[in-house]
Chain A
Amino acid sequence: DIQMTQSPSSVSASVGDKVTITCRASQGISSWLAWYQQKPGKAPKLLIYAASILQSGVPSRFSGSGSGTEFTLTISGLQPEDFATYYCQQGNSFLITFGQGTRLEIK
């Protein structure tokens, strides 16, 4: 199976800050990567697919980049509603795997 490793596991930031979360794959996955946001007690929400394509309705302060084994999710100008847990997910293999999650907390 392809292992996905996110860093950091948690990060503290303030409203207005820029935050970057990294996701590394144990083998190359081209651009078969998606990012999700999850708030407590809620289902995950798709933010980005194909590593860098913003899902419809997602604010432009979210952006994704990378290919191969290293990917990043960047949130520019944090808003109060962005404090949540973020997950990456690879779709290169039929055996889909998620990263362990990154918790974004208010400083």
Chain B
Amino acid sequence: EVQLVESGGGLVKPGGSLRLSCAASGFTFSSYDMNWVRQAPGKGLEWVSSISSTGSYIYYADSVTGRFTISRDNAKNSLYLQMNSLRAEDTAVYYCARDGSSGWPSFDFWGQGTLVTVSS
């Protein structure tokens, strides 16, 4: 069974940093591109970042470029999101999501999410 479990969320002050983790199991993690998607309270979905299976290709939304860094450790079946210079507008539930096994750009499995709150 595919499982994605996020951790690392919490309350942080504006300008602070946080590192999210996503532990993957039930599939060959090293074969899949992975993503972070966030959802502000009461709002829609916003794609944050993607990383290819080997880590060679990385993409970011304009809203987080220069502040967030996505990475992965295939030996540990883990995905990470380092978030620096956090702003109030970064407050959201952060989901890790697996790229679809079909090969088409979609997200077929999602974690339960971890809440990040940026507030003084």
**A residues in contact (CB < 8 Å) with B:** 1, 32, 34, 36, 38, 43-46, 49-50, 53, 55, 87, 89, 91-92, 94-101
B93 to chain A, nearest CB (A): 9
- Which chain B residues border A94 with CB–CB below 8 Å? 50, 59
In the assembled complex, the Cα of A34 lies from the Cα of B95 at a distance in Å of 17
- Chain A interface: which of B11-19, B66-74, B79-87, B101-109? B101-109
A43–B44 CB distance below 8 A: no
A98–B46 CB distance below 8 A: yes
- Nearest to A89 among chain B residues (CB) is B106
A90 to chain B, nearest CB (A): 8
Within B30-49, the residues touching A (CB, 8 Å) are 35, 37, 44-47
Contact for A49 among B61, B62, B100, CB less than 8 A: B100
In the assembled complex, the Cα of A2 lies from the Cα of B111 at a distance in Å of 26
What 0/1 pattern do residues 84 to 120 of B give for CB contact below 8 A with A?
Answer: 0000000000010000101011111011110000000
